[in-house]
Structure 1
Amino acid sequence: MTVNTPDQVEIVMTPMAVEETKPTFLQKARTWTLAHKRAVAAIGAVAVIGSVLAVITTNTSLSSVFGASTGANGAGICYDSTENPNDLERHFGIIKQKYASVRTYQVTYGGKNMIDVAANAGLSIAVGVWISGGDWSSELQAAIDGTKRHPNSVKAIYIGNEELHKGWGAGAVIDAINKGKSAIRAAGLNTPVGTVQIDGDFLRNTAVADACDTIGVNIYPYFSGPESIKDPMGDLKARWSAITSKWGGKARITESGWPTGGGDYNGHVSSYDNAKSYYNNFNSWASSNGGDITYYFMFKDVPNKGGYEQNFGVADNQGNWKFDSAPSNPTSAPTQAPTPAPTQAPTQAPTQAPTQAPTQAPTQAPTQAPTPAPTEKPTDKPTDKPTDKPTDAPTQKPTDKPTDTPTPVPTTETTKPTTSTPEPTTNTPEPTTNTPELTTSTPESTTVSPDFNNSTASNSTDSNSTSSFSSGSFNSSEEMTTVSNSNLGNPVTNDGTTTGSSGTKTGTTGTTSTTNNNGKTETLNENNANTGAADQSGSGKSTISYVLGGMALVGVCAVAVLVAHNRRKNQMLDEEKDIFMTNRDDSMAVLQTRKSAIASYCPIILRMKRKCDSMAPTTPTLVLTAEEQKLFTFLLDVDQQKATGLTLRVAGGWVRDKLLGRESDDIDIALDKMTGAAFAELVNSYEAQHGHATHSVGIIKANPEQSKHLETATMQLGNGWIDFVNLRAETYADDEAHRIPSMEFGTPLQDAQRRDFTINSLFYNINTGMVEDYTEKGFQDLADGIVRTPLEPRVTFLDDPLRILRAIRFASRFEFKLEESLCSTLHLQEVKEALLKKVSRERVGKEFSGMLTGSSAHPDRALSLLLEYGLMDCIFTPPAGILLNGKAASLPSDVWNQSIACALAMHKLLVNHDASRVETSSMDEVALNRFKLEILAAALLPLAPYTVLQKKKSIAIPYAIIKDSLKLRAKDAEDVGNVILKSADRFKTVKLDRVAVGLLLREVGNLWPICINIAFVSETTLEGAPIAASSTKYNALRAFIHESKLDNVWELKPILNGKELIAALELPPGPAVRVMQERAIEYQLAHPDASREDCLAYLKLNK
C-alpha cells in the first residue's frame, strides 16, 4: 500500500510489512508483563496512600480530606462590579476564605476605592483601570491614590481589558498604557503597569505586550475551537506556552473559566460536572504555572447577564461556594453530611446515586454525588474520537470573550484514561494526574445533509436525498449528547448504570460490586467508607477499621487499573492494524492526531511519524456557520450524485480569515480535476434534476497579459457569490521577457506555490474537513504575523505584479511584517515597471481603495509603506505634460513625502487622534465613500496647483489621477479635483459673515466639512501654521455655520421665482432674471426672517 503525502514523498508498505505489524503472542506476552509491573507499582502506591488517608480520617472528617479544591496556593479570583456597592466588603470577605488576591475591572465603584476594600480584607489586588467609557483620568488618579495608601497590596495596575478585541487599534492601546505608566511613575510609584487582552490579540499585536511591565492574558478553552473539547487543559497549556515563549515571566493568566450552565458553546457543554472538573484541573496546574499568581473567572454568578455568561461563578449569586459539595439531589444515595461553609447552610444528603455519572473522576472527590446537567441526553455509545466534521456551532461568542487564536492548534498528546471506581461518598483518584475529558455534545453523524422540507436533517446522503439553495431556511440535525464514563469508556444509561464488558457499577445504597476480567466479583461495603461521620459524632471506630476500609478501596482501584489498561492496550493494537487499511486521507488524519501514542506500540508507524513531521501540517476542522455547512454539504451532494470523484477545497482568504477568527463571505472553491465552468454546470444540472431553480453562471475569462491567469466561474448560492476555479500549474515559454504562462491542471502543492502569499495558500478540504498547509509555512507565518511569498518573491511578483500592492494591504490590514527578501524585491525597478505595464488601472484602483476602506483597514500604515518602498508613482501615476500656471513643469522631488504627510494628518484628524486605526467596516456606503474622499483629497493636496492639457482643456492633476490612474468614479474625480481642492483656500480666508459663508457653502454643497478639513491640513502640514491656532479658527467657523443655521444652505431656494421677478421688476427673460435671483438669495442670507414683500422692495431699489 502507498501512502501519498502532500510533499510528494511516498512511503511504500508491502503486504509483508503489513503482516509484520500484527502483534504476535510473544509481543502480547511482553506487553502484559510490562502491564503487570505497572499495575503492581500502582497498587503499591495507592495502598500506601489509601492507608495513610485512612489513618488521617481517624481524627479528620472525610469532607476535609476529599473536599473540593479551594484554589491554587496564592490563587486569585476575578470580581466584576455589577450589583450593590454596599456588598463589596461582604464579598471580599467571602473571597478571603479561599483566595489570596482579587482582580477587578475598575478602581472605584459606588464611591469606594477597591484597593482600599481589598487591603482591608487582607487581599492583594490586580486593579483594572476602565478606559472604554470616555475620560478615564479620574479612574487613573484613584488607582494612584489607592496604591499610595496600600503599596504592598497592589500586584499590578492594568490599563483596560480586551480593548483589542473590542476594536481598538494597537496604537490606541499603547497610547493608553503609556499615559497610565507616565502618570503612575510621576507619582513616585514603581507598581507594574500593563494591560489585559486575549492571548491571540497579544500574539497579533506584539508591540502592545512589549509596551507593558506586565501583561494579563485571558485564555478560555470553553470558547476555543472543537479541538479543545477533548482536552481543554491541553488547549490552555499550548496557548499559554505561546505567550510565555515570547514574554516569559512578565505574563500572568488573568481570566479563565468554565460555566456551570446556561447553554453550550461550539460543542463545549456548560454543566456543573465540567465546570468543577476544569476548575480543579486549572487550579492544580496553575499552582506552578500561569504566572506568579493566576486569576480565575469569576467570584460569583451574575444574574443580570444572559445564558452561560451569568454562570461562570465559583460561587452562586448569594456567595455560596459551588464546588465544596455537589448540588442537592433528592434521589441520591445517603452520604455523610458535608461540613457547612461559613456562609451556607448544610446541604441535605441525597438518598440515591445520581442518574448520570460525571465524565471523569474529579481530581478530588466531592462529598456527595454531583447532579447531572439537565440538558444532557446520553446516547447508546460513547464518543472516543473527535469528529471530522463540525457541528453548526456559532462562530463567534455573542459576548465579550471569544478567543480566536491565529496559531494552529498543536496535536494534543493522548493521555491514559483516569481509572477509578466512584463511590457515593468518596472517590480515590488514580495516582497519575491526567487531564480529563469534558462532556461534549456530539452529533450522531459527522456529515449532515440538509433537508429543506423537514425539521431535521438526514444523517446520511443517499441517491434520493436532495438539497437546494432555492429554499430560504436551513435546519441542522438534532444533536444527541454522549456522556463518557471515565472508568472504562462505557456509556451511562438513563437509570444510572454503567454498562460494559469489563464490569458493572450499580447505584445501590449498600454495596459497590465490580466484576473483573476473571469473572470474580469484589464487593465493598460502603458503610465502612462512610464511618467518618460516626467518628465525628463520637462513635469510636478504631484506626484499624479505616486501614482495612482503605485497603479494600485500593483493591477496587487496582482492578479498575488492570481492566482499563487491558482495554487500552487492545484498542491501540487494533488501531495499528486498521491504520494501514484506510485510505490516504484517513491515514494522515489518524497519524497527525494520534501518532505519538500509536508509535510507542509499532516501530513501522514510528518511522511514518518521523516522515509525517516533514509533511504538510493539518489542523482540526474549522468552525463553520450554518450557512457554510449548508453550502459545503450541498457541494458534496453534487459531487457524489454526479460521481465526479472530485476533492473540493476552499482556497485563500476565507481560510486565513477563519483561522484569524474573522468572518468571511469570500469563498473560492478549488477543484482538482475539473474547470470551474464545468462544475458550475453540474451544479445547475443537479438543481434541475431535483426540481429546483438553476442559477446564472458568470465566466470571468483569463487575461494573462493583464496578469489575470485563471478562468473563474461565479454563481450565487444561498446568500453569497461563490467562485469556482481549478487547481493550477503554470509553465512558461523560454521568452523570460514576456512570461505569459500556459495553464495546466495542478496538484494542491503546485497551486499553493502559485498563490500570492503563504497566509493565503492554505486550503480547507471540504471532503475531509481539514485545513491543509502545503507550503509548510502558512500556519507559522499566520501565527508569527509575516507576509511571505511561497516562491522567490521576484517570481511571485512578476507572475502577477498586483501582488506588490496586495502585500502592502495585508501587512497594513493585519499589522503583519513584510518578510526580508520580499522587502528587497519591492525596491526592484523591474517589478515596479511590471506593475505599471501589466496590471490594469482598474485593478490598481480597487486595491488602493481596499487599503483605505477595506475590512480592518489601516490607511496610515498602508500609505507609509507605499512611500517607504517608492510605490506612490505606481499608484498616483501623473500624466505627461504637467503645467504650473500655464508653463511646463515637473513635480517636486519631495512631492510624495508631502502627499503622505498630508494623508496621515487627515487620518489622524478623522479618528480623533487615534492614528492607528479607523473601523470602516461599521460605516454605511455614504460614510465610507466620504472617508475615502477625505484621505484621497489630502494625499493629492500637494498636486493641486498643477494641471495638464487634455483635449484643449486645462485639467487639474488630482482630477486626472483619480479618473485615469485609479479609474475611480467620475463623480469622485469631480468632487476631489474640481470642488474640494479648488475651494479649500477660500475657507482659509472667509469672514464669519452670514452672506459670505452662506454663498461659499452653496458652491461646495455637502462637501463643506471635507473642505474645512483640507484647509486645516493644508495650513498646518504644508504651510506650518500652529495646530492650536488653526484648530481654534476652524472650530469657530464650524460653530458659526451651525449657529447661523447654514448647514443645508445649498438647498435654500429664492423667495421669489423667475416669473414673479419678471412681472414685478419688468425684466426680459434671460440672464437678468438669474442675476436678480442671486441678489434675492443674498438678501435672504442677510435677512433670514424677511418676507417676500421685503425682498421685492429691496430688489426694486437695487435693480
Structure 2
Amino acid sequence: MASLSVDQRQALEDAVAATPTIRRVADAFAASGYDLHLVGGPVRDALMGRGVHDLDFTTNARPDAIESILSSLTPATWDIGRAFGTIGASFHDDVVEVTTYRADSYDPSSRKPTVEFGDDLTADLVRRDFTVNAMALSVVTGAFADPHGGLEDLADHVLRTPSPPEVSFGDDPLRMMRAARFTSQLRFIPVPEVVAAMTEMADRIQIISAERVRDELSRLLLSDAPREGLDLLVRTGLADHVVPELSALVREVDEHGRHKDIYQHTLTVLEQSIALEKARGHAPDLVGRLAAVLHDVGKPATKRFEGGGKVSFHHHDVVGAKMAKKRLTALRYPTDDIKAVAKLVELHLRFHGYADADWTDAAVRRYVRDAGDQLERLHILTRADCTTRNQRKANRLRTAYEQLEWRIDQLAAQEELDAMRPDLDGTQIMEILGIKPGRVVGQAYAFLLERRMDEGPLGPERAREELLAWWAARPESTPPHS
C-alpha cells in the first residue's frame, strides 16, 4: 500500500491551510470529542493539484450532534438528509457537508438506500464509489487513511471500486454514470472489471431518478473532454437507457461507405463546439453541448436510399428537434433549455442554403429572427457541424459562414437588428386603421414585420402607406377613420 510522499503531504496541508473553514469546523468537532475527516473529492483534488472546492467530511458523530456543532458556528445549517446522516452548513463562500460514518446498502428493487450508521472509518470508506474517492484525511489528528489503494490508482489514472464493482454499482447504480463522468472530467480509465460490470448492470440505471441521471449527464457534458465519457456510456449500453437516440446513431454506421459515420461525426461536432466556445470567449455551455450531441438524432428515422447508391435524411432537422425535446423532457431538463436545444437542432441545417446560393438581406434577417436569442449558439453549432475531410469543401463552408456572420454584424449595426420590430407598434396600427384590439391587429403587425424583413426599416410614413394598402386589399376591410 502506497504512503503519502512529502509533496503529497504538503499538498494536503496546503489545501487545509488555504481554507480556514476547515480548521474552524475541525476544532469544533475536536472540542466535542469527535474525529472529523475530509473525504472523497476534496482529498483527491488536493492530491491532484486541482484545488479544493467542495468540503465533504465524515465523522463518528451522529446527525443530531453534527447539527448541534455546526449550528454553534453558523446560523446557516440545513438538513440535507438526516436519515442518511448528512447535515449541511454555509460559511460565507464555503459550503460544508458532514456525514456520519455509515455502512449503507441498496435494496435491489428500490431507488433509495437503507442506512446503518457506523463507528469505523474503514467500513465507511469501503462504501465509497471509487478508490480515488475512498481516501480520507483527519483534520483533527492529521492521520491519512487509504485502505483501498487510492493513491496508486490516482498515480495510474485508473478507476476501480473499493468493493467488487457489482456490489458497488448494486448499492448505487448512479455510480456507473459517475464512472463515465470521471473518465471525461479526470481523464481516468476504468479498469476492465468496472467496464464489464457497467455493461452487465446497465439496465439498473432505470431505478435512479431522472433528475439524478440528468445531473450526472450534465456534469459529464460540461467537462473539458466529454467524448470519452459519452463513448463509455454507449459502449456499455448505459446510453440505451439514458440517451438512446445517441446509441441509435451507432447502428447507422454504413459498411459500404455510402454516408459518413453519424455517431463519430456527432462526437466530433461536440469536440469542435467546445473548441469554438473557448475560442469565442464563452464559458462551458450545457445548452450548446446538448444541441451538438442531439443535432443529428433525426437521421435514423429519416434515412432513405436514393438512386446511385446515395443516402438522404430529408427533414431530419425537424424530426430531430421533436426527438430532442422528448428526450430532454424525460430527463427533466428546464423548459427554457429544452426549447433552446430544440430550436438549435431545427435550425442547424438552415445555413447550407446560404452556402449554396447568395442570400438576400431579407433572408439574412429571417435567419437572425428565427434564431432569436440562440444566434450565437447557432453560429457555434453550424460551424462545428463541418467535419468533412475534403479541405476544399471545408474551406468553402468556413468562408461562407464567416461572410454570413459579417453580413449579420453589418445589418445589426445599420438596423439594430436585435430589436427586430416593425416600424409601427400595435397602438399605432389600431389608430391608423381605426380598429380595436383583436386578431386583425396581430395580422397587421405580422405584415409589417415581414415587410421589414424584406426591405429593412421602412420609416413611419412608408410603413403607414403600406399598412393602408394592405388594409385596402383585404376583402373584409373597412375604410379607416380620418
- Please state which band the TM-score falls in when normalised by the shorter chain: 0.7 to 0.9
Counterpart among 270, 278, 297 of residue 906 in structure 1: 270
| Residue number in structure 2 paired with 1:766 | 139
Q: How many pairs does the alignment contain?
A: 440
SS at match of 1:754: coil
Displacement of 1:907 after TM fit? 2.2
Counterpart among 947, 961, 970 of residue 327 in structure 2: 961
| 1:579-627 deviation digits (Å, cap 9, x = unpaired) | xxxxxxxxxxxxxxxxxxxxxxxxxxxxxxxxxxxxxxx9467233577
Q: Considering only CA atoms, is the larger Rg found in Structure 1 or Structure 2?
A: 1
**Equivalent-residue separation in structure 2 for 1:711 and 1:810 (angstroms):** 25
Give the conservation status (yes or no) of the 8 Å contact 2:273–2:292.
Answer: no
| 1:1002 maps onto 2:369 in alignment | yes
Structure 2 vs 1, CA of residues 1082 and 822 (structure 1 numbering), >3 Å: closer, same or farther?
same
Counterparts of 1:731-770 in structure 2, within 5 Å, are 741-770=114-143
* Aligned amino acid, residue 80 of structure 2: I
Counterpart among 352, 366, 369 of residue 988 in structure 1: 352
Structure 2 vs 1, CA of residues 1101 and 713 (structure 1 numbering), >3 Å: closer, same or farther?
same
Give the conservation status (yes or no) of the 8 Å contact 1:1084–1:1095.
Answer: no
Give the conservation status (yes or no) of the 8 Å contact 1:987–1:1011.
Answer: no
Displacement of 1:766 after TM fit? 0.9
Give the conservation status (yes or no) of the 8 Å contact 1:842–1:967.
Answer: yes
Counterparts of 1:461-480 in structure 2, within 5 Å, are none
| 1:409-439 deviation digits (Å, cap 9, x = unpaired) | 5479xxxxxxxxxxxxxxxxxxxxxxxxxxx
* Aligned amino acid, residue 215 of structure 2: K
SS at match of 1:725: strand
SS at match of 1:663: coil
**Equivalent-residue separation in structure 2 for 1:919 and 1:1101 (angstroms):** 49
Counterpart among 60, 63, 77 of residue 676 in structure 1: 63
Counterpart among 209, 214, 218 of residue 849 in structure 1: 218
Displacement of 1:958 after TM fit? 0.8
Displacement of 1:1034 after TM fit? 2.2
| Residue number in structure 1 paired with 2:421 | 1053
Displacement of 1:903 after TM fit? 3.6
SS at match of 1:697: strand
Displacement of 1:904 after TM fit? 2.3
Counterparts of 1:965-976 in structure 2, within 5 Å, are 966-976=331-341
Displacement of 1:906 after TM fit? 3.5
| Residue number in structure 2 paired with 1:659 | 47
**Equivalent-residue separation in structure 2 for 1:910 and 1:636 (angstroms):** 40
Structure 2 vs 1, CA of residues 695 and 741 (structure 1 numbering), >3 Å: closer, same or farther?
closer
**Equivalent-residue separation in structure 1 for 2:24 and 2:164 (angstroms):** 38
Structure 2 vs 1, CA of residues 849 and 1054 (structure 1 numbering), >3 Å: closer, same or farther?
same
Counterpart among 716, 719, 725 of residue 93 in structure 2: 719
Counterpart among 25, 32, 38 of residue 650 in structure 1: 38
Structure 2 vs 1, CA of residues 1050 and 1067 (structure 1 numbering), >3 Å: closer, same or farther?
farther
| 1:134-180 deviation digits (Å, cap 9, x = unpaired) | xxxxxxxxxxxxxxxxxxxxxxxxxxxxxxxxxxxxxxxxxxxxxxx
SS at match of 2:351: helix
| 1:870 maps onto 2:237 in alignment | yes
Counterparts of 1:954-1103 in structure 2, within 5 Å, are 956-964=322-330, 966-977=331-342, 979-989=343-353, 992-1015=359-382, 1026-1045=393-412, 1049-1067=417-435, 1069-1088=437-456, 1090-1103=458-471
| Residue number in structure 1 paired with 2:256 | none
SS at match of 2:221: helix
| Residue number in structure 1 paired with 2:156 | 784
**Equivalent-residue separation in structure 2 for 1:943 and 1:665 (angstroms):** 36
| Residue number in structure 1 paired with 2:206 | 836
SS at match of 1:665: coil
| 1:1009-1047 deviation digits (Å, cap 9, x = unpaired) | 3334444555757xx994333223322222221122279
SS at match of 1:968: coil
* Aligned amino acid, residue 1062 of structure 1: M
Displacement of 1:843 after TM fit? 0.9
Structure 2 vs 1, CA of residues 900 and 958 (structure 1 numbering), >3 Å: closer, same or farther?
farther
Displacement of 1:1085 after TM fit? 4.3
Counterparts of 1:26-65 in structure 2, within 5 Å, are none
Structure 2 vs 1, CA of residues 656 and 1038 (structure 1 numbering), >3 Å: closer, same or farther?
same
**Equivalent-residue separation in structure 2 for 1:730 and 1:1057 (angstroms):** 64
Give the conservation status (yes or no) of the 8 Å contact 2:328–2:338.
Answer: yes
Structure 2 vs 1, CA of residues 699 and 827 (structure 1 numbering), >3 Å: closer, same or farther?
closer
Structure 2 vs 1, CA of residues 901 and 1069 (structure 1 numbering), >3 Å: closer, same or farther?
same
Structure 2 vs 1, CA of residues 863 and 699 (structure 1 numbering), >3 Å: closer, same or farther?
closer
Give the conservation status (yes or no) of the 8 Å contact 2:70–2:77.
Answer: no
Counterparts of 1:448-487 in structure 2, within 5 Å, are none
| 1:946-994 deviation digits (Å, cap 9, x = unpaired) | 69xxxxxx99221111111x221111111112x2222333333255212
Counterparts of 1:106-117 in structure 2, within 5 Å, are none
* Aligned amino acid, residue 681 of structure 1: S
Structure 2 vs 1, CA of residues 942 and 701 (structure 1 numbering), >3 Å: closer, same or farther?
farther
**Equivalent-residue separation in structure 1 for 2:392 and 2:377 (angstroms):** 19
**Equivalent-residue separation in structure 2 for 1:732 and 1:976 (angstroms):** 35
| 1:943 maps onto 2:317 in alignment | no
Give the conservation status (yes or no) of the 8 Å contact 1:863–1:900.
Answer: no
Give the conservation status (yes or no) of the 8 Å contact 1:1053–1:1081.
Answer: yes
**Equivalent-residue separation in structure 1 for 2:210 and 2:416 (angstroms):** 37
Displacement of 1:647 after TM fit? 1.3
Structure 2 vs 1, CA of residues 1048 and 646 (structure 1 numbering), >3 Å: closer, same or farther?
farther
Displacement of 1:995 after TM fit? 1.6
Structure 2 vs 1, CA of residues 942 and 1083 (structure 1 numbering), >3 Å: closer, same or farther?
closer
SS at match of 1:716: strand
Q: Which runs of 5+ in 2 are unaligned?
A: 254-260, 303-319, 472-482
Higher helix share: 2
SS at match of 1:713: strand
| Residue number in structure 2 paired with 1:639 | 29
**Equivalent-residue separation in structure 2 for 1:869 and 1:812 (angstroms):** 15
TM-score (norm 1): 0.37
**Equivalent-residue separation in structure 1 for 2:125 and 2:143 (angstroms):** 16
**Equivalent-residue separation in structure 2 for 1:993 and 1:955 (angstroms):** 27
Structure 2 vs 1, CA of residues 1043 and 408 (structure 1 numbering), >3 Å: closer, same or farther?
farther
**Equivalent-residue separation in structure 2 for 1:1072 and 1:1014 (angstroms):** 38
| 1:795-825 deviation digits (Å, cap 9, x = unpaired) | 1111111111111111222222221221222
Give the conservation status (yes or no) of the 8 Å contact 2:36–2:140.
Answer: yes
SS at match of 1:849: helix
Structure 2 vs 1, CA of residues 779 and 680 (structure 1 numbering), >3 Å: closer, same or farther?
same
**Equivalent-residue separation in structure 2 for 1:619 and 1:712 (angstroms):** 28
* Aligned amino acid, residue 901 of structure 1: H
| 1:699 maps onto 2:80 in alignment | yes
| Residue number in structure 1 paired with 2:479 | none
Structure 2 vs 1, CA of residues 729 and 746 (structure 1 numbering), >3 Å: closer, same or farther?
farther
Percent of residue pairs bearing the same amino acid type: 23
**Equivalent-residue separation in structure 1 for 2:336 and 2:42 (angstroms):** 33
**Equivalent-residue separation in structure 1 for 2:5 and 2:248 (angstroms):** 54
**Equivalent-residue separation in structure 2 for 1:771 and 1:845 (angstroms):** 34
**Equivalent-residue separation in structure 1 for 2:189 and 2:161 (angstroms):** 12
Q: Which runs of 5+ in 1 are unaligned?
A: 1-6, 8-406, 413-617, 688-692, 703-709, 879-889, 948-953
RMSD (Å) for aligned C-alpha atoms = 3.6
| Residue number in structure 1 paired with 2:305 | none
Give the conservation status (yes or no) of the 8 Å contact 2:34–2:59.
Answer: yes
| Residue number in structure 2 paired with 1:894 | 251
| 1:738-761 deviation digits (Å, cap 9, x = unpaired) | 796452314221111111111111
Displacement of 1:871 after TM fit? 2.5
